[in-house]
Structure 1
Amino acid sequence: MSLDDPRRQDLIGWGRTVHRSAEVRRPAVDGDGLVDTVLAAPKITVRGAGRSYGDAALPGAGIVVDMTSCRRIVSFDQGSGVLVVEAGALLKDIIDQTFPLGWKLPVVPGTERITVGGAVASDVHGKNHPGAGSFGNHVLWLELLRSDGQVTELSAGKDADGFWATIGGMGLTGIILRAAIQLQRVDTGWLIRNRRRTGSFEETIEAMQSLAEQQELDPDRHAVAWLDGHGHGTALGRGIVDEFYSASTLDLPNGVAPYPELRVSGTRQRQSLPGPGVVSRTTIAAASAARWHLSRSVNSQIVALRPALCPLDRAEGWPAAFGRRGLVQYQFAVPPEDFGVLREVLEFLATHGMTPALATLKNLGFGTAGPLSFPIPGWTLALDLPARWLHRPDTLRPVDKLVAGAGGRVYLAKDSVTDPEVIPLMYPRMWTWRSTQQRLDPVGRWTSGLAERLELLS
């Protein structure tokens, strides 16, 4: 099958902070076109749906191979729940087809609009990580196109080092062609939500710690907290803690169908608002106060599963609200005993006039064997900041040092600002990963803006 005519395109990350122009190719998995493209290009960045906030799917040098045309569901065994799918398929494509059959993906991040290849390369996690782990825990095997044109099958039992270097490997070990994923049975498309409003940082942490213990025993239990980063004194870090667990057919009111009606939502990218947009210190303060004061502690609410777990799909215009310079999301993880670092980071931002537009906290359990996989046992806090506030590259260096000093790490899939010097401290198994990456990429073909900026391959 032939390639689309190569053409130069302007590409951006989802946060709209980084723009790159590159020659983009959209090959098909079958046939010789993809292999020919790989062998002809000295440097290649692999790109999926482009939902990474920063430069993980943007080129440093060379061409871009866009995998979104390779999106077939190859096979699905309704008895075992094993799905074989091409890497360019969106999680949404999978959910649309398997959900009505009583199967679901065990792990979804805050959006369904990422590709399978991106989910594997980022080893994405959901709100149920303590029990379910991350996406890579449910990958049975994958096919990888190496830089020498060879296709190899990887699994935990067949070249385990290569398999785990690819899971969380940020697309730098090769092009993921197909993956086999173990799905999970589901009775309904609904969840039961318990909501608790907390009055202090300490109360928020206590509530999330209690939920983490329950999550460890139940892979279907989800938890997330919104933190008020604008509060002062004891109010800093107060929040809203949501717990979700599966609703059975017996939990549903009379007349409610087991699966909510599928609603088709638009995916059109909104234009960035001019200048600074509408996100400012004043609007953040007002929105934070309103959100906390208007929320109430309520138990046993029935909510639809998909919008509850994937709120970003209802906020396609969110990055546009931050204006022309876009949005930086700084997401980091720290061990369970170092929850004080979370408050220190919020205090640093408040002191420097950088109250986050959004701050969400989740529990993390044990990660995968992937050396560059993000999750570690403990906490992860994601902070949305207007990029225009980060006047210098070193604005968040003190936060980097706080996180690294606690044995924590930043999420590479969302990064656009971290100091490259702290990355080896945050990812101490990077040296092991580099050795495997060089074996899988013998000609040094794979790259990305992220890899070059953070010196991941040097």
Structure 2
Amino acid sequence: MNPDESVVALSGWGRSSHRRSLVRRPVSDEDVIRAVRAAARITVRGAGRSYGDAALPERATVLDMTAHNRVVSFDQLNGIIVVEAGALLRDIIDQTLPIGWLLPVLPGTERITVGGAIASDVHGKNHPGAGSFGQHVLGLSLLRSDGSVDDLSAAQNPDEFWATVGGMGLTGVILRAGIQLRRVETGWATQRRLRTRSMDETLEVLRSLAVRQELDPDLHVVAWLDTHSPGRRLGRAVVDECRPTRAAELPTAVPPYPERRGTRTGRTIRSLPGPGLVCGATIAAASTARWHLSRAREGLLPIGAALCPLDAAESWPAAFGRGGLIQYQLAVPANAEKVLTQVLAHLVARRLTPALSTIKNLGFGTAGPLSFPIHGWTLAVDLPARWLENRDALRTVDELVADAGGRVYLAKDAVVDPVLLRRMYSRLQSWQRTQLRLDPDRLLTSALAERLGLLA
């Protein structure tokens, strides 16, 4: 066995899906090309932060790209950075934030790779104004299964570029990408918090904020729902809005850029034995306490802490015990907000009350056939995987989403019905044709692709 390869037990971040596989860790482009030519089938993996099985193999060698992580160039005048696909978003922020540049889109964590951010076309809490990650990618280099490298951009190769953005790592191996950054004046964010008392009020607040978000790509908004309280209180929420703080707004004693916190990568925390701590009683207590203890306020936070709260919750999957957690994230159009209430009511009625629930506004999506965002709403719920041992447990939810013209997020998925997925992603066949053209040797695969029949 080569020094850069080993047999490793892998899982998604939610720890509900597991595989054991041969893993290769290339450092250079030449290493990646050799690995591609040597393997019968390959699954590309970044930092392993997909919740489900998107970066897990199904009878394939895993290509772990995290050592392929150099910053190739950085134009500090224009805010254009070119990085290898294995670079973490945190690595980019460490280099660019102290000189006034920030990634324009950040999901709930900085600890994903650039390649993973493109393959999942991740979005942040500022989607109505900023769009998703792929909209800020100026170009990328894609290694195809025949060993050739294509330089792709939205202007020159739109079909191949947008098939790769949101393509779940199934069109080829992203080697590097150029990204347009956004100017910021400080490393702080100003956060405002308020509470709502019903789902209707929560949605009304989010609607009003969405109007502002469409005009301001720096405005980030998320609602943390209380899904335990019954009746009219179901869906009451703590709503956070934040934006990068301007220099003139900082108190005199506060430095413009805070010291970076913590370690550079998260420490893996062992799952608690058995069912862990998450059960109906603890969910009820935590949900009620979160709402009652979250008073209206305004304050300063380091920008990473404000925009990437998952990085302060490394122990979250461990709390769900050996079975892990499943996050089900859906999007529905702007005129289908009733589905959000229907989904929550369905879960609560079947004693599947989520351990965590959030709603965000979404703006218009991209040209990517498999990209997740659509103009409207996105609801994400965290559920103990042991509650969903019958994988049809959420089929009714799948049907509600599909009937409304919505979809589920492939980067989070572990349970969606494969037949209904084809209704959710109406351009799947178009994507399959482009994917097969880029990967005629059928080298690229994943457990997600096999489970859902994504490949032609």
User: TM exceeds 0.5?
Assistant: yes
Cα drift, residue 275 of structure 1:
0.3
| Aligned equivalents of 2:74, 2:33: Cα separation in 1 | 27
Q: CA RMSD in A?
A: 1.1
| Aligned equivalents of 2:314, 2:120: Cα separation in 1 | 21
Instruction: Kindly indicate whether residue 10 of structure 2 is the aligned counterpart of residue 15 of structure 1.
Output: no
| Aligned equivalents of 2:48, 2:191: Cα separation in 1 | 31
Q: How many residues align?
A: 455
CA contact (8 A) 2:326 2:385 kept: yes
Q: Is the deviation greater in 183-192 or in 371-380?
A: 183-192
Cα drift, residue 3 of structure 1:
6.2
Amino acid at match of 1:134: S
- TM-score normalized by structure 1? 0.98
Partner deviation per Cα, 1:149-208 (whole Å, 9 max, x = no partner): 101100012211000000000000000000000001110111222211000000000000
CA contact (8 A) 2:271 2:318 kept: yes
| Aligned equivalents of 2:324, 2:138: Cα separation in 1 | 37
Aligned twin of 2:198: 200
Instruction: Kindly indicate whether residue 60 of structure 2 is the aligned counterpart of residue 68 of structure 1.
Output: no
CA contact (8 A) 2:372 2:408 kept: yes
- TM-score normalized by structure 2? 0.98
Amino acid at match of 1:37: A
Aligned twin of 1:281: 280
| Aligned equivalents of 1:104, 1:37: Cα separation in 2 | 33
CA contact (8 A) 1:228 1:238 kept: yes
| Aligned equivalents of 1:331, 1:3: Cα separation in 2 | 39
Aligned twin of 1:107: 105
Amino acid at match of 1:8: V
Aligned twin of 1:359: 357
Partner deviation per Cα, 1:322-378 (whole Å, 9 max, x = no partner): 000000000000001111100000000100001100001100001111000000000
Partner deviation per Cα, 1:410-450 (whole Å, 9 max, x = no partner): 00000001111111100001111001000000111100000
Cα drift, residue 145 of structure 1:
0.2
| Aligned equivalents of 2:191, 2:2: Cα separation in 1 | 47
Partner deviation per Cα, 1:43-81 (whole Å, 9 max, x = no partner): 110000000000000001221111001000000000110
Aligned twin of 1:249: 247
Cα drift, residue 393 of structure 1:
1.1
Amino acid at match of 1:352: R
Secondary structure of 1:194 counterpart: strand
Aligned partner (choices 115, 121, 132) of residue 134 of structure 1: 132
Partner deviation per Cα, 1:77-129 (whole Å, 9 max, x = no partner): 00110100000000000001110011000000000000000000000000000
Unaligned runs of 5+ in 1: none
| Aligned equivalents of 1:292, 1:412: Cα separation in 2 | 30
Secondary structure of 2:177 counterpart: strand
Partner deviation per Cα, 1:213-234 (whole Å, 9 max, x = no partner): 0000000001000011111000
Partner deviation per Cα, 1:233-284 (whole Å, 9 max, x = no partner): 0000001111112211111112100111112236110000000000110000
| Aligned equivalents of 1:456, 1:391: Cα separation in 2 | 23
Q: Where do 1:224-239 residues align within 5 Å?
A: 224-239=222-237
| Aligned equivalents of 1:415, 1:309: Cα separation in 2 | 22
| Aligned equivalents of 1:429, 1:139: Cα separation in 2 | 22
1:109–1:279: structure 2 CA closer, same or farther, 3 Å change rule? same
Amino acid at match of 1:56: A
Unaligned runs of 5+ in 2: none
Q: Where do 1:80-95 residues align within 5 Å?
A: 80-95=78-93
Instruction: Kindly indicate whether residue 190 of structure 2 is the aligned counterpart of residue 184 of structure 1.
Output: no
Aligned partner (choices 379, 395, 398) of residue 397 of structure 1: 395
Q: Is the deviation greater in 20-29 or in 349-358?
A: 20-29
Amino acid at match of 2:94: D
Amino acid at match of 2:196: T
Aligned twin of 1:445: 443
| Aligned equivalents of 1:452, 1:357: Cα separation in 2 | 29
